[in-house]
């Protein structure tokens, strides 16, 4: 992601106090952060890591930033003379963001790494814009200028939501949420093999739509359930699903367990291991190290993972035991216990 910011620095004419940077990408070079602060650029992001990176490295005050917050973009927080969209890894999410911007903008800029959709911005947006022109190609990134089709129809994220059904309950997912509109195989493996605990506090980390925690809550209403995620689109999806299903659950924005307080009897997670096209084990590694401090004395950590990932070995470094309890369709279910 660093290259995207380096490519943008080639265009200081686009970057001033009337510019909004809309997107996610926490790996920012020092030169970019210094420029953003010096020229008072505004940013809006749905990713907590990106928001924290800006907050930690700059000294902004409102309105130039939404400090330390990941938010769902809307017409009220995307106002600016110039908007630059960092194209997300989900094409459907990117297309929805273009439609959002068309509510109040006649043009915008879009940038992405060539191996993350940068080469195909024109084809991805052809039904949504009246013009699309590449204006730069550098650092293996492409920068595009888009002439937007202005829309008078009020934008609503729910119009772009997709849903899936599990155990006769419908779960809604907003664009950008993991496995948008589908129940992934790994999560299904976990839910089919693990019954709801009889009692106690349960935490669903990296909850996405909230399907794990909310399914456990529906199976046993006595459970106290907390759902957490780093992504504002996931947080909003989980909140909507809890409301739609009439299930009580606390929903928290957190990078792993960083913003989690208290102790839990059970922690469940289907941890991400991709960062763009690259494998990233940091989330899972940190989860194993941090989970033991948030579990009760007899607490359990339940993880589902791709079969090739050595998660049970890592778990044994932090827990008294970690066993594979099921393996199907390329995934495995691991239970780690405090004692």
- CATH code of 28's domain: 3.40.50.150
**In a shared domain, residues 273 and 325:** yes
- The domain of 36 spans 2-148
Cα–Cα distance, 324 to 339 (Å, whole number): 16
**In a shared domain, residues 198 and 320:** yes
The answer to whether position 156 is within a domain reads: no
Domain end (from 118, 148, 178):
148
**In a shared domain, residues 87 and 210:** no
β-sheet with 141-148: strand ranges across: 42-44, 19-22, 82-86, 107-113, 141-148, 129-138
Spans of the chain below 50 pLDDT: 61, 63-67, 274-278
**In a shared domain, residues 108 and 171:** no
- pLDDT of res. 22: 96
The answer to whether position 215 is within a domain reads: yes
Total number of domains in the chain: 2
**In a shared domain, residues 89 and 114:** yes
Domain end (from 126, 148, 170):
148
The answer to whether position 286 is within a domain reads: yes
The answer to whether position 154 is within a domain reads: no
The answer to whether position 153 is within a domain reads: no
**In a shared domain, residues 96 and 141:** yes
Enumerate long-range contacts of 285-291, CB under 8 Å, 24 or more apart.
Answer: 285/314, 286/256, 286/257, 287/205, 287/256, 287/257, 288/314, 288/315, 288/317, 288/318, 288/319, 288/336, 289/318, 290/256, 290/257, 290/258, 291/257, 291/267, 291/318, 291/336
**In a shared domain, residues 185 and 287:** yes
- pLDDT of res. 279: 53
**In a shared domain, residues 219 and 287:** yes
**In a shared domain, residues 192 and 281:** yes
Q: How many CB atoms lie within 10 A of CB 280?
A: 12
* Residue 63 preceded by cis peptide, ω within 30: yes
Residues whose CB falls within 8 Å of the CB of residue 34, separated by 6 or more in sequence, listed in order: none
**In a shared domain, residues 265 and 185:** yes
Domain end (from 112, 127, 148):
148
**In a shared domain, residues 36 and 110:** yes
């Amino acid at each position: 992601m660093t290259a995207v910011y380096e490519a943008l620095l080639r265009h200081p004419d686009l970057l001033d106090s009337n510019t909004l940077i809309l997107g996610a990408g926490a790996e920012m070079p020092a030169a970019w952060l210094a420029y953003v602060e010096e020229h008072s650029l505004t940013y809006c992001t749905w990713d907590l890591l990106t928001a924290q990176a800006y907050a930690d490295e700059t000294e902004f005050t409102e309105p130039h930033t939404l400090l330390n917050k990941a938010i769902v973009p809307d017409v009220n927080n995307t106002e600016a003379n110039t908007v630059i969209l960092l194209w997300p890894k989900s094409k459907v999410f990117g297309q929805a963001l273009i439609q959002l911007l068309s509510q109040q903008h006649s043009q915008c800029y879009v940038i992405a790494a060539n191996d993350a959709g940068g080469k195909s911005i024109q084809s991805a947006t052809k039904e949504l814009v009246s013009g699309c022109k590449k204006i730069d190609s550098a650092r293996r990134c492409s920068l595009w200028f888009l002439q937007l089709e202005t829309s008078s129809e009020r934008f609503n994220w729910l119009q772009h939501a997709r849903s899936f059904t599990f155990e006769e309950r419908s779960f809604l997912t907003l664009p950008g949420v993991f496995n948008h509109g589908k129940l992934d195989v790994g999560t299904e493996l976990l839910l089919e093999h693990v019954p709801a605990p009889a009692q106690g506090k349960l935490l669903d980390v990296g909850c996405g739509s909230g399907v794990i925690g909310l399914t456990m809550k529906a199976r046993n209403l006595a459970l106290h359930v907390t759902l957490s995620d780093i992504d504002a689109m996931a947080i909003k999806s989980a909140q909507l699903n809890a409301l739609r299903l009439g299930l009580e659950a606390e929903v928290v924005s957190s990078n792993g367990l960083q913003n989690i307080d208290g102790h839990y009897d059970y922690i469940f997670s289907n941890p991400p291991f991709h960062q763009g096209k690259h494998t990233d084990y940091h989330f899972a590694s940190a989860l194993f190290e941090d989970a033991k401090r948030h579990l009760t004395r007899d607490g359990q950590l339940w993880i589902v993972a791709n079969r090739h990932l050595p998660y049970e070995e890592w778990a044994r470094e932090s827990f008294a035991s970690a066993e594979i309890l099921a393996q199907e369709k390329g995934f495995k279910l691991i239970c780690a216990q405090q004692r």
